[in-house]
Chain A
Amino acid sequence: MVAPAETEASSLVVREVRKSFPAPDNPLSRRQVLDGISFSLGAGELISLIGPSGCGKSTLLRLVAGLDSADSGDLLIGIEPITAPNAERGLVFQDPNLFPWLTVRRNIQAGLVARGVLHEKKNEVDEFMRLVGLEIFANVYPHHLSGGMAQRAALARALINHPKILLLDEPLGALDAFTRMRMQDEVLRLWQARRTTMLLVTHDIDEAIYMSDRIMIMTPRPGRIERTIPVELARPRQRDSGDFLRLRSDILKFLHFAGKS
């Protein structure tokens, strides 16, 4: 059983969040990017956020990470408002963004060094390198890694801080189809092993259905969550099962109509 206090601490609440940016063509007007976003994320949940590019998915993720601040509305972890980036909310981008001047091992332990706890937690570095299967690449520089390996290192780097929420911004978007499917299983394995709450931004419908407990569909200009769809398929999911395909065509239809209106 998960203790209630922990449940509360790991849950994310987003309430009526708005965010606008100066319009690129006219600096006097502002463009509404997020328009009243509300949702909540329970401890241990894996939720996908899908939608066409430019609908504000990444902006929302940056707000949750604390890298930007909202114009209005609340972002809470439990009852604590999000004000600044924090090691409790890990972030993985589409580009692994490994520090090229550090070896794989030093990249993975970067969070421990940044928080000044490397000394106490040195043994965890090996554990996390094993977790993502990169032990033998410990002393290799990132440019020697393939895209999938680099993304696994980035995941380990984010997970070593034991974040309460892991934010994934199209983490598998740059990988080829086969690597991507392998990595989806990898992420699911990490999620199940560590019960980390995950918020996954993707524009791949199959990926969203295959991985998440719920799918939130965003529409652009201004960005809104149009619909939330629970995915009640048993895990491990079959990508070619009837239910899977039915759900897929429902979402496609919805996105198609939403795009037209």
Chain B
Amino acid sequence: MEPQEDLVPTAIVEPPSALRWRTMLAVPFAAGIALTAHTFIANREPPLETHSYRLLFIEVIAVSILLALLRRFSPGLRRWMANMWPIFTAAIVSVCVWDIVTLGLRMLPLPYFPGPSAVLRSLINDRVLLLDSTWHSLVLLLSGYTLGVIGGLISGICIGWSSPIRYWGMPLLKVVGPIPATAWIPLTMVLSPSATVSSAALIALAVWFPVTMLTASGISNTRASYLDVARTLGAGRAYLIFHVAIPAAVPNIFIGLFMGLGASFLTLVVAESVGVKSGLGWYVSWAQGWAEYGKVFAALIIMAAFFSTIMTVLFKVRDRVLVWQKGVIKW
């Protein structure tokens, strides 16, 4: 039966089944439909320049056919295709539906909801500014995030390890921490010399709270028997903190890092649209000011790719660092 096909070791070249063919052809087929639909819609609207949109789908068809031919030579490629093609097909169909709903049927009000071809045009025409904005966002995000993580780790380790520090630090953390970082904007704008510095500080603050909280709880919940064993092995305080408590807390710390990352995205976009005169958040509000919603959507697409890439990088780092947990905990 077909379901067993996936269990066959990939080194053996199996004859492509009917199921395989269907999956493989779904992408060029969907792209073809999207292309045809668009051609039909756009022909009723001659003044629209949608050359790049069509070119995109022609490229999709070409690449998917090329990959379909190349799949024989690479088991990795075949697995990747079997895994990803249904998703790609769904994405293409969604874009096609979006195209029909906006440009074709005009069901959504303009200029707020441009069609995909208009968004693609904005993306291409404004690529220099978009790239520049992405770069500024990246620099701001990374500097704020790094600062927040370092601060959060230090305060989290201190609070988690030392009970006097926990006594004095915890109330402060519990009162100040839950205030959303963006609520400090009025204050930081007054205090800080530049909007960029204050934004980095805000992002750091947003990251600091969850990282501190989770690090502290991870450290203070270190299994007592690990510490006992380490003591009987001759461990001093430095070993207990850096070789027992911190490694034991790393799974928790990563939860804090992920929560902090989410908070940093939010703070970044708000800070950029309020104070800083660059970055993707600024770009969105700027484009909105000119009612260029094609650009707004273009920036949202870039943001989605940008943020999810950063998230993926953190996932990879975690898998690397926590390789010892594989089999202990199901991710």
Contact = CB atoms under 8 A, between A and B. Distances in A.
Interface of A: 62, 65-67, 84-87, 89-91, 93, 95, 97, 99-102, 110-111, 113-115, 141-144, 157-158, 161, 167
A85 B228 CA distance: 8
B233 A87 contact: yes
A111 B234 contact: yes
B232 A91 contact: yes
Contacts of B235: 114
Contacts of A99: 226, 244, 247-248
Nearest to B230: A114
Given A99-B226, A101-B248, A65 B233 contact: no
B106 interface: no
Contacts of B223: 97
A90 B250 contact: no
Interface string B215-233: 0000000010110111111
A90 B231 CA distance: 9
A90 B233 contact: yes
Contacts of B250: 101
A114 B328 contact: no
A144 B328 CA distance: 9
B47 interface: no
A158 B229 CA distance: 9
A158 B232 contact: yes
Contacts of A141: 323-324, 326
Given A91-B232, A101-B324, A158-B232, A113 B239 contact: yes
A66 B229 CA distance: 11
13 contacts: A67-B231, A87-B234, A89-B232, A90-B232, A95-B225, A99-B247, A100-B328, A110-B233, A111-B234, A114-B235, A115-B234, A143-B327, A161-B234
B229 to A, nearest CB: 5
B325 interface: yes
B316 interface: no
- Choose among B243, B244, B325, B328 the residue with the greatest number of A CB atoms under 10 Å from its CB: B243
A97 B225 contact: yes
Interface string B85-126: 000000000000000000000000000000000000000000
Q: How large is the interface on B (under 10, 10 to 19, 20 to 34, 35 or more residues)?
A: 20 to 34
Interface of B: 223, 225-226, 228-236, 239, 243-244, 247-248, 250, 323-328
B234 A91 contact: no
A100 B230 contact: no
Rank and list the top 4 A-B pairs by shortest CB-CB distance, nearest first.
A87-B234, A85-B231, A111-B233, A114-B235
Given A113-B239, A114-B236, A91 B229 contact: yes
A84 B234 CA distance: 10
Contacts of B244: 99
A87 B236 CA distance: 11
A41 to B, nearest CB: 17
A66 B234 CA distance: 11
A238 B239 CA distance: 44
A147 B118 CA distance: 63
Looking at A66, A111, A157, A167, the one whose CB has the most chain B CB atoms below 10 A away is: A111
B234 A86 contact: yes
B247 A87 contact: no
A113 B243 contact: yes
Nearest to B248: A101
A261 to B, nearest CB: 34
B232 A65 contact: yes
Contacts of A87: 232-234
Nearest to A154: B229
A65 B325 CA distance: 30
A66 B228 CA distance: 10
Contacts of B232: 65-67, 85-87, 89-91, 158, 167
Contacts of B230: 110, 114
A113 B250 CA distance: 20
Contacts of B239: 113-114
A93 B250 CA distance: 24
A248 B206 CA distance: 66
Contacts of A65: 228, 232
A97 B227 CA distance: 10
A153 to B, nearest CB: 12
Nearest to B229: A97
Given A91-B228, A100-B325, 19 more contacts: A66-B231, A66-B232, A67-B232, A85-B231, A85-B232, A87-B234, A91-B229, A93-B229, A99-B248, A101-B324, A110-B243, A111-B233, A111-B234, A114-B234, A141-B323, A141-B326, A142-B324, A143-B328, A157-B233
A161 B234 CA distance: 8
B243 to A, nearest CB: 7
A135 B231 CA distance: 26
Nearest to A65: B232
Contact of B243 (A114, A144, A158): A114
B325 A161 contact: no
B299 to A, nearest CB: 41
